[in-house]
Amino acid sequence: MLHYSVYMARGWESKSAEEQAQQHAENREADAARTIKPQAADRMRARQLLELKRERILSEKTSSTVRREALQAALAEIERELASLI
């Protein structure tokens, strides 16, 4: 009876090791698929920065006509830059 349980334990361990190796390989493949290339990351950061600038300009309220025109010009420039990133 003792030999039977030792054999079962060894068999169980090898199956577990195989499963762990397979899961590890699958995790590596998934990590590689999620990795972002440096150029893509730079573009994402640039886009996020422009979107933040755009939000700040849109949230700004002013009664000055000159300031409003400057904000509209800045907004138009940001939107041009955003369009060029797409």
Tens-digit pLDDT string for the chain (86 aa): 555 555 555 555 556 777 777 888 877 877 766 777 888 889 999 999 999 999 999 999 989 999 999 999 999 999 999 999 87
- 46 shares a domain with 20: no
Amino acid at 81: E
Same-domain status, 45 and 67? yes
Q: What confidence score (pLDDT) does residue 37 get?
A: 84
Domain carrying residue 84: 37-86
Considering the domain architecture, whether residues 73 and 49 belong to the same structural domain is answered as: yes
The number of folded domains in the chain is 2
Residues 64 and 78 grouped into a single domain? yes
On whether both 30 and 57 belong to a single domain, the answer is no
Q: Which tokens hold the place of 36?
A: 């972002």
Task: Identify whether residues 76 and 50 lie together within a single domain.
Answer: yes
| Residue 45 and residue 86 in one domain | yes
- What pLDDT score was predicted for residue 85? 86
Q: Please count the other Cβ atoms lying within 10 Å of the Cβ belonging to residue 78.
A: 20
